[in-house]
Structure 1
Amino acid sequence: MVNLIGIHSIHRKMALVTWMSMNQKGKLNLDEVAIKMLKPLLKENLSLIQRLDELKNLSFVAYELNDMKWLQEICRQIEELEAKMI
Structure 2
Amino acid sequence: MWVNNIMFKYEEGSPTHVVMIDFQGSAFVSLGLDVNYFLAMSPSPHVLMNKKEELIEKAYFLGLKNTLEKHAFKMIPSLSDIKGEVK
TM-score of the superposed pair, with normalisation by structure 1: 0.34
TM-score of the superposed pair, with normalisation by structure 2: 0.34
| Higher share of residues assigned helix | 1
| Higher share of residues assigned strand | 2
Tell me which structure has the larger Cα radius of gyration: 1
